[in-house]
Structure 1
Amino acid sequence: MEEIKTIYFAGGCFWGTERAFQLLEGVVDTQVGYINGQTENPTYRQVCTDTTGFKEAVKISYDPAALPLERLLQAFFLCIEPEKKNQQGNDRGSQYQTGVYYIDEGSQAICQDYFDKERTKHAAFYTELAPMINYYPAEDYHQDYLITHPNGYCHISSQEFDQVKALNPKK
């Protein structure tokens, strides 16, 4: 097994985004939280005021030997609408801005190449690609939300979840 790598995805409401990534073989751990804002250790209530600059995000720890970053990006773009700014599904506000946030140059290069290709598929493209500046874990009740609340709200459709699952290697 290669060294475990970390990358962050903001895909709208973090409950569904986390659940989508949990369906991929090679994801070692997920944690929902808040990324790239201006206050220290924000709460969900603060992030929802649209004044902190934070986005709802999922920290993904993955094994690159089992799960290439390109497959994570493919899953991400199956579940978002990059043409929308500060909105995914029925959720509106700057905390729902989509983005990918990297911590190393290797990941940046792979993401940039993927973004360059993905951008050509859309009339408008608002998904951010930026370094992770700061990240704070969300409150415990948000972690693994759709596992503990399987009928909870989700902006990602069951068909999109099925498409993500189909990205796993055939056995």
Structure 2
Amino acid sequence: MKIIVLDRDGVINFDSDQFIKKPEEWKPIPGSLEAIARLNESGWRVIVASNQSGVGRGLFDMDTLNAINEKMTKALGQVGGRLDAIFFCPHTADSTCDCRKPKPGMFLQIAERFNAEMKGVPVVGDSLRDLQAGVAVGCRPYLVLTGKGSKTQLDPDLPEGTQIFPDLAAVVAQLTA
């Protein structure tokens, strides 16, 4: 089973420093939805793992987060794509939870749900914590320069072996070549 784990904001859709708080604010990065559809066509299971501290901060509720994710999945369906699962951490940065990236809790949940070994699984993110969470369980890190990626690529703590691409479409082009 081929699995890939994607962050949401900054990888699939445009990010915002003010958070994506309602469906109208969710806008796909050009080529990202088609890239996910290409992964599906190539036999990949596509999983989203996303910190959503806006829930814990009270900026939006679970119904709104579900509506945002529903907009994403409908938009994906329109180009022939799908997600196999969406994992998220609703907690704030000061939480002691184990699911908020850079902690690996969501990745451990993915391994359990899909009965999968995470070693070598591509993790695609635009921030250091996305990559650190995946690397902690043996994933291969891919940094995209969309979202916060341009700033992240300068971080001296970037995990060893991180491959850097302009966007999700470029990562997928390499993985499906």
Determine which structure has greater relative contact order: mean sequence separation of CA pairs < 8 Å that are 6+ residues apart, divided by chain length.
1
Q: TM-score, normalised by structure 1?
A: 0.31
Structure ranking higher in strand proportion: 1
TM-score, normalised relative to structure 2: 0.30
